[in-house]
Amino acid sequence: MQVFSYKQGERLAEVFNRWGVEYLFIGKSGAIFYGYPDTTQDADIFPAKTPENARKLAAALRELGYELTLDNENELIAGKDFVQLRSGPFDLDLVFAPDGIETFAAAKARSIIIDNRFPVASLDDIIASKRAANRQKDRESLPRLEAFRDYLRSRNLTALPTNPSQPQC
Site residues (vs other proteins, CB under 8 A): 1-6, 9, 29, 32-33, 35-41, 43, 67-69, 72, 75-76, 80-87, 90-91, 95, 97-99, 114-115, 135-137, 140, 144, 147-148, 151, 160-165
Nearest distance in Å: CB 137, other proteins: 3
Nearest distance in Å: CB 61, other proteins: 10
CA dihedral 112, 5, 70, 60 (to 10 degrees): 50
Nearest distance in Å: CB 75, other proteins: 5
Alpha helix (H) ranges present in 88-135? 104-110, 123-133
Nearest distance in Å: CB 80, other proteins: 4
Helix (H) or strand (E) segment spanning residue 112: strand 112-114
Sequence length of the chain is 169
Nearer to other proteins, 75 or 124 (CB): 75
First to last CA, the chain: 37
Nearer to other proteins, 29 or 122 (CB): 29
In a 3-state reduction of DSSP, which class is residue 26? strand
